[in-house]
Amino acid sequence: MLKFLLRPILIGLATAVIILIAVPSLRQDILQIAPSEKAKNLDDVQVSFSHAVHRAGPAVANIYSRQYVEGDRLKLKTQGLGSGVIVSDKGYIITNFHVVAQADQIVVALQDGRVSSAQLVGSDKQTDIAVLKIEMGNLPVIPQNTSYKAKVGDIVLAIGNPYNLGQTTTFGIISAIGRSSVSTDGRQAFIQTDAAINKGNSGGALVNTRGELIGINTASFQQATDLETYGISFAIPYALANKIMTKIIADGRVIRGYIGIDGQDMNAVAARLLGIDHVSGIIVLSVAPNSPAKKAGLKEKDVIVSINGNKILNSQTVMEMVTEFRPGTTVDFDILRDGKKLTLPVTIEEDPRD
């Protein structure tokens, strides 16, 4: 009985499909969407980042640095302009070091109209991070997500106060991550974006489409001729900025570990020249005189393969690990020297370059 009923149904469906293929006008009429439905669907797919700006914008403040007029300590003039991000309801603000570097007084203007003088908690020239504190209640705090990992192609928004025009939001994508080559000493791995960053944006927020802080805007790339290059801007990753802020709040400054070597990433060519199997690690190119590495017995052409049992991938890994050790800590360096494995205890010292 069931087979008897299904047969005419299937024949009817097959006939309908053949007719729709043969007569396109019928297909268009059947698939046509009513005007009201079209409008509704367009509203559904409308792209807007107003929610992200609404969440993050109030926590991005305008920063004005002021200096005493030369010869008159009673008068102040505004000499610097930038932005800052409120990251704690206790009043802590992250901005760039270069925004407040020469300031005798720092003024913070919130988006709700409130204005306050700010205390410089501390700064770190190497990473271009400064931490301010204001004494004010009911502060807007920018959303933060420590688990977010920036990826090339992610949509981002740069929020700041360019040219003192007032808060402005620009839009773009992450075009690269880990740009350590543009750092003066390789200590940072910048986020590269094509969101416009201009004078006054420095210290402002780079946020994702949820309004979560992912970086501190710090610089736009310019050629040696001073001609502006569009579409290449850099931000300090939130994870690094947060780490530096924590150190500054704890110690008033950033205390970094130091061993005093210069190294090069291991590769197949270097391994052949040294007559060893290709391994991950770094080759020691030079050892600073009277440095912790020199005292421990490290030599040129040594290959560092692990630190405290943690495998070394590249020179960036070594730098990141060493800077996190507190001065006075003794750390085991596993090395290869003339094809033999050695373990050298190295006592970390404070970085004299800071």
Coil vs helix vs strand at 156: strand
Whether residue 175 is contained in a domain is answered as yes
Whether residue 108 is contained in a domain is answered as yes
Nearest to 264 by CA among 224, 304, 292: 304
Asked whether 106 and 120 are in contact (CB, 8 A), the reply is: yes
- For residues 128 and 164, state if they share a domain: no
- For residues 161 and 207, state if they share a domain: yes
Nearest to 63 by CA among 170, 144, 164, 139: 164
- For residues 201 and 261, state if they share a domain: no
Known catalytic residues are 98, 128, 202
pTM: 0.76
With residue 176 as reference, give the H or E element that holds it: strand 168-179
Q: Quote the pLDDT of residue 231.
A: 64
Helices (H), the chain: 2-22, 24-31, 35-45, 50-56, 97-100, 238-251, 268-274, 292-296, 315-324
- For residues 181 and 231, state if they share a domain: yes
Give me the number of domains the chain comprises.
Answer: 3
- For residues 246 and 181, state if they share a domain: yes
Task: Identify the residue whose tokens are 């495998």.
Answer: 311
Phi-psi region of 244 (alpha: psi -120 to 50; beta: other; left: phi over 0): alpha
Pick the last residue of a domain from 183, 217, 251.
Answer: 251
Asked whether 106 and 117 are in contact (CB, 8 A), the reply is: yes
Residue pLDDT tens, the chain, 354 long: 545 555 655 566 566 555 555 555 544 444 444 444 454 555 555 678 999 999 999 999 999 988 887 766 666 777 778 999 999 999 999 999 999 988 889 999 999 999 999 999 999 988 899 999 999 999 999 999 888 888 999 999 999 998 888 899 999 999 888 766 444 444 567 899 988 888 888 999 999 999 999 999 987 655 444 555 456 888 999 999 999 999 999 988 888 899 999 888 887 777 777 777 767 788 899 999 999 999 999 999 899 989 998 888 888 788 888 988 999 999 999 998 887 889 999 999 998 876
Whether residue 8 is contained in a domain is answered as no
Q: Quote the pLDDT of residue 89.
A: 94
**Residue numbers of the domain that contains 282:** 257-350
With residue 117 as reference, give the H or E element that holds it: strand 115-124
Q: Quote the pLDDT of residue 91.
A: 95
- For residues 168 and 243, state if they share a domain: yes
DSSP code at position 33: P
CATH (domain of 324): 2.30.42.10
Phi-psi region of 239 (alpha: psi -120 to 50; beta: other; left: phi over 0): alpha
How large is the angle between the packed helices 24-31 and 2-22, nearest 10 degrees? 110
CATH (domain of 216): 2.40.10.10
Q: Quote the pLDDT of residue 345.
A: 95
- For residues 243 and 261, state if they share a domain: no
- For residues 286 and 316, state if they share a domain: yes
Neighbouring C-beta atoms of residue 274, cutoff 10 Å: 18
Task: Identify the residue whose tokens are 């003024």.
Answer: 107
Nearest to 170 by CA among 83, 81, 79: 83
Whether residue 149 is contained in a domain is answered as no
Whether residue 31 is contained in a domain is answered as no
Whether residue 144 is contained in a domain is answered as no
Pick the last residue of a domain from 251, 270, 298.
Answer: 251
- For residues 288 and 232, state if they share a domain: no
Distance separating alpha carbons of residues 76 and 94, to the nearest angstrom: 24
- For residues 67 and 127, state if they share a domain: yes
Asked whether 189 and 179 are in contact (CB, 8 A), the reply is: yes
- The CA–CA distances, whole Å, from 175 to 189, 253, 316 equal 13, 32, 21
Whether residue 233 is contained in a domain is answered as yes
Q: Quote the pLDDT of residue 184.
A: 43
- For residues 164 and 239, state if they share a domain: yes
- For residues 220 and 273, state if they share a domain: no
Distance separating alpha carbons of residues 256 and 348, to the nearest angstrom: 9
Q: Quote the pLDDT of residue 30.
A: 40
Asked whether 56 and 156 are in contact (CB, 8 A), the reply is: no
Whether residue 38 is contained in a domain is answered as no
